[in-house]
Every structure is written in structure tokens, then in C-alpha cells.
Copies of this chain bind each other. A is one copy, B any other.
Amino acid sequence: MSAPIVHGGGITAAAAAFGGSPEDWLDLSTGINPCPVALPDIPARAWHRLPDRHLIDEARRAARDHYRSGEILPLPVPGTQSVIQLLPRLVEAGRLVGGTNNRVAVTDNRVAVTDERIAVTDNKVAVVSPTYGEYARALTSAGFAIDAVNDVAAIGAAHRLAVVVNPNNPDGRIWSAETLVALHDRMKAADGLLVVDEAFGDTDPTLSLASRAPQLSNLVIFRSFGKFFGLAGLRLGFAIARENILERFEDWLGPWAVSGPALSLAASLLRSDVSPIHSRIEERSIGLHAVLDGAGLRMAGGTALFTLVADARAGDIYTHLCRHHILVRKFDYAPDWLRFGLTPDPAADRRLGEALQRFER
């Protein structure tokens, strides 16, 4: 059993420790749009019936048009987490299919290792770090050795898999399409795989590799549906890759992996006009920045959906905000960092600003 990772969203635990009812807390610990879109109607059959091919295909076509993935129909998955859990299996399968040395026997997806050296010499994966912790957890748990590299330049032929979160969480670093395509080509030359997680990519679609994906055989892109639309409870994401990879994910997830309501909402919302969502997020981001600026906090990075603050007093600020029933995100590995999600409205901006001002005094 690997240790669970502390994620944002732990309002219940925070309220248990610092008092107050969870509903009264201001939760700034996630990167989810705090202004959810209005829910379109969900037909009764989406709840009642097993998700039919027709519903799945509708959602896939809407995702293709929204993400501009060309001939690729993105695969709906029950949250990016579900496919992160499958990456170890995909890397094993890729090694078997693509490798030049047949040191392993295989019956479809099962690996029977006939040469022990493979576990020693061939299990290195690179994760551009620090980043979302579930990649390292899932890969370590499956026996891979993680190289937590600081930049894509440090990734090379020794790595079976490279993971880049773009823009990165929590620091908001971005890599250009050219840099990532070059990385893909390096990975491909050694039968490796590149995963680009665009979970926070919706607010700047120009960064996305989706439109290049049809030409990049060793690339997998993950998209998150819930963060941008403010519907994280839905558990929906999309994987964008060539058909041979998507077929494996589909096979391993099994039939009906995604709920009918999620597919129905995706089919509607991915075809809707998202410009009001962009405007609202931008307005909220400006509000948050003004509060942090007013409190004299140094903004060290972020995306439109969250802002990273670097401050030597971060631990104390975190506790102080908890006493005001405001939850932000702290990081074990970077004790001077705090990540602030967007506030839902100007009243919450004021509440945060007043709490921060009391810390100053």
C-alpha cells in the first residue's frame, strides 16, 4: 500500500481540526472553477440505461471538436486519475510491443519476465517535478523508479516514460509545443512514451498539443473536464492518443467506464459557447491577484485557475487562514509555497483580504 497523497478539497478534515461547519468554509485548496456552469438537462435515459454507444460517440465527437484533435476521437474516462493508474500497464505493454529486445514473454497484457535484468535496467521513468503527486505514486507503486527531473531537457533515452504537466501544477510553468514535440521525438526514438497532462490547459487552448496528436504516435494527452466547467464531482476526463493506445485504455477500463450523466453533460457543454466561462475565470483571477497583491504576497506562478505564492511565513499563513476557516493548499516538499484557488465572488475576495490583513498585524 502506498501512502495516500494529501490533495486539495479536504474541507471535512480541516473543519474537524479548526472548527466550523464544512459548508461555511471558503475552500481555496483546489484548482476548480468556483463558478460552475448551469447544468443542462440530463435526459432520464442517461440515468436509467447503461451508457449506449450512441451517447459515448456523441461525447467523443463533441470532445474532438472542442479539443481540436483532428481525426482522433478523445476517449472519455472516469477522471484522469483512472488512466494515471493504467500508465504502468501501458508502459509495460509498450515495451513488449515496441521494444527491439524480446526479453519478456507476454500473453496479451500480462508480463512474465524471463530476464531479471529488465527490472533493474529498464524501469526508469521521468516526471517533470514538482508536480501533481499521483503520477509518482502510481508509477512507484508499480515498481518503476522515478527521476523527478526539473525540466524536459533532462529527459532522455534511459526513460521509458516522460510525464509533463502543461501548464504545470502548482507552479504554472509552461512548455511550448515545439519543445514537447522534440521531446516526443526523442522518446519515440527509444520506444518511449510521452504523457502530457493538460488538466489546466482549458484556460489557454493555444498551449495544447491536441491538434498535433494525430501525427505523434508515442504521445498521450490527458484532459480534465471538471476543472474548467466547475464540475469536478462528475469525474470525467479525456485521453487523446492514437487509436492503438486508446483501444488499450478502453479495454482495460472495461465497458461503461463513464456514467451516462457525465457523457450527456460532456456532449452538451463541450459544444456550448465557453467564452462566458473564460470571462468569469479571468474576472475571478483578477480579483484574487488584487487581494494577494494587497496583502503584499509574492506571486510565484500559477494559471488562470490558481495562483502560487512564495513566502517564508507560508506555514503560519496557512494556519492563520484555517483559523478564519479558509483552506488553501500547502506543500510538504516546498514549505514556503501556498496555492490559492479562485474565490467564487467579490465577497469572498473581501473575506480573504480581511483575513490576510489580520495576519499582517
Number of residues from A at the complex interface, CB < 8 A: 71
A112-B113, A112-B143, A261-B234 given; A254·B85 CB < 8 A: yes
User: For the complex, what is the distance from the CA of A138 to the CA of B254, rounded to whole Å?
Assistant: 9
Q: Does A124 sit at the interface, judged by CB under 8 A? A: no
Q: Which residues of A contact B (CB under 8 A)?
A: 1-2, 4-5, 7-13, 22-23, 27, 30, 32, 36, 39, 44-54, 78-79, 81-82, 84-85, 88, 105, 107-110, 112-114, 116, 119, 134, 138, 141-143, 230-235, 247-248, 251-262
With beta carbons under 8 angstroms apart, the residue of B1, B47, B78, B107 that contacts A257 is B78
A52-B11, A254-B134 given; A119·B112 CB < 8 A: yes
What B residues does A49 contact at CB under 8 A?
Answer: 9, 27, 30, 32, 232-233
What B residues does A52 contact at CB under 8 A?
Answer: 9-12, 22
What B residues does A261 contact at CB under 8 A?
Answer: 233-234, 259, 261
User: For the complex, what is the distance from the CA of A142 to the CA of B134, rounded to whole Å?
Assistant: 24
Can you give 17 contacting A-B residue pairs, CB < 8 Å?
A2-B251, A4-B251, A10-B52, A22-B52, A27-B49, A30-B49, A36-B44, A47-B233, A48-B232, A50-B233, A51-B235, A79-B256, A107-B143, A110-B142, A134-B255, A138-B254, A259-B259
Interchain CB contact under 8 A, B235 and A259: yes
Interchain CB contact under 8 A, A254 and B12: no
User: For the complex, what is the distance from the CA of A113 to the CA of B104, rounded to whole Å?
Assistant: 11
Interchain CB contact under 8 A, B108 and A247: no
Interchain CB contact under 8 A, A54 and B22: yes
A81-B254, A233-B47, A262-B259 given; A12·B53 CB < 8 A: yes
Closest Cβ neighbor of A48 among chain B residues: B36
User: For the complex, what is the distance from the CA of A338 to the CA of B337, rounded to whole Å?
Assistant: 62
Interchain CB contact under 8 A, B119 and A82: no
A10-B53, A53-B12 given; A234·B259 CB < 8 A: yes
Closest Cβ neighbor of A22 among chain B residues: B54
What B residues does A1 contact at CB under 8 A?
Answer: 108, 247-248, 251
User: For the complex, what is the distance from the CA of A76 to the CA of B320, rounded to whole Å?
Assistant: 35
A50-B30, A143-B110 given; A257·B81 CB < 8 A: yes
Closest Cβ neighbor of A248 among chain B residues: B1
What B residues does A142 contact at CB under 8 A?
Answer: 109-110
Inter-chain pairs besides A12-B54, A82-B257, 5 sampled, C-beta below 8 Å: A10-B53, A12-B53, A47-B233, A47-B234, A105-B119
Shortest beta-carbon distance from A306 to chain B in Å:
14
With beta carbons under 8 angstroms apart, the residue of B78, B109, B232 that contacts A141 is B109
User: For the complex, what is the distance from the CA of A346 to the CA of B161, rounded to whole Å?
Assistant: 58
Closest Cβ neighbor of A56 among chain B residues: B12
With beta carbons under 8 angstroms apart, the residue of B4, B116, B231 that contacts A48 is B231
User: For the complex, what is the distance from the CA of A114 to the CA of B9, rounded to whole Å?
Assistant: 42
What B residues does A234 contact at CB under 8 A?
Answer: 47, 259-261
User: For the complex, what is the distance from the CA of A211 to the CA of B52, rounded to whole Å?
Assistant: 35
Interchain CB contact under 8 A, B27 and A230: no
Closest Cβ neighbor of A252 among chain B residues: B85
Q: Which of A46, A138, A234 has the most CB of B within 10 A?
A: A234
What B residues does A44 contact at CB under 8 A?
Answer: 36
User: For the complex, what is the distance from the CA of A249 to the CA of B73, rounded to whole Å?
Assistant: 30
User: For the complex, what is the distance from the CA of A14 to the CA of B254, rounded to whole Å?
Assistant: 21
